[in-house]
Chains A and B, each alone.
Chain A
Amino acid sequence: MGQPAADDTAFERYVLSEIEVMLRVAHSLTRNHAEAEDLVQDTLLRAYRGIAGFDGRHPRAWLLTILRNTHINRNRRRRPELLRDPDSANDRLAASASDDRTDGFVDDDLDVEIVRALDALEDPFLRVVELVDIDGLSYAEAAELLDVPVGTVMSRLHRARSRIRDRLDRAGLAPRSHM
């Protein structure tokens, strides 16, 4: 056993409150519940060891950086073909599409077309949609996680949504764009 962090209350305050967010993001990165849990556990350990040097500003961004680096380190030990399953993101959506819903705003046709549209997105675009629109990260948090500028997240996200929108247009589920 090691020594406790300089400020254990800081660890509890900044880190433990973010476990659900980290787990959701980790699942987006790994596409696997067990791997996501392992990744978050490693991230917690690294965060604990680094909490004494953390200035308390933007804790989620700090944690997402640790999560990203931990994920990269773990992947160095893996075969490249296992890093991403192109179907799994949409499997995730398709699986949840059959769940009971309380939001009457969404409809089946829209769900189907959006899943198809996501399937057609290249990985960088799919990533930002997952992180921002599905997982609920801010632009800045997604940028931190992906290690790209905020402007890149923004442009990828907007282009991805435009493509989804165009797909809905072609399916007759959206008005023809005039912009």
Chain B
Amino acid sequence: MKAWIMKMLGRTPPGDMDCHQVGELLQHYLDGRIDADRARRIEAHLEECRRCGMEAETYERIKATLAAHRPEVPAESVDRLRAFGERLARGEEPSEP
């Protein structure tokens, strides 16, 4: 709300970035793919702008939910492949590819 009022008043929003600029960079920021200076400016905006803060939280929830669905790889498959790799490392390459 504060950011909106400031925008209506033609003033620079918190953190000197406006909501549109933050929106353009938000996913880069959440993925940690942004330089420290811009990250600080985005953080300042998110601290003050409730709606952008909620937007960021939504994307974080999406990412967290997706990451929580990362499948476990079957341990027996890993064991078999590791054993296969170790045989290769010992020079026991199979004759058939």
Contacts and interface: CB of A to CB of B under 8 A. Distances in A.
Contact of B63 (A44, A48, A96, A133): A133
Contact of A179 (B52, B65, B71): B52
Contact of B85 (A15, A133, A139): A15
Interface residue SS majority, chain A: helix
Contacts of B69: 92-93, 96-97, 134
Contact of A23 (B27, B62, B64, B73): B73
Size band of the interface chain B makes with A: 35 or more
Contact of A175 (B26, B55, B82): B55
A134 B59 CA distance: 14
A101 interface: yes
A114 B62 contact: yes
Interface residues of A, number: 54
Nearest to A22: B81
A154 B97 CA distance: 36
Interface in B21-60: 22-24, 26-28, 31, 33, 51-52, 54-55, 58-59
A1 B51 CA distance: 64
Contacts of A114: 62, 65-66
Nearest to B22: A179
A1 B92 contact: yes
A48 B88 contact: yes
A139 B28 CA distance: 11
Contacts, number: 143
B8 interface: no
A172 B84 CA distance: 50
A41 B95 CA distance: 14
Interface in A80-130: 92-93, 96-97, 101, 103, 105-106, 110-111, 114, 129
Contact of A136 (B20, B22, B55, B67): B67
Give the 3 A-B residue pairs with the shortest CB-CB distance, closest first: A179-B23, A4-B91, A2-B93
Interface of A: 1-5, 8, 11-12, 15-16, 19-20, 23-24, 27, 33, 36-37, 40-42, 44-45, 48-49, 92-93, 96-97, 101, 103, 105-106, 110-111, 114, 129, 133-136, 139, 154, 157-158, 161, 164-165, 168, 174-175, 177-179
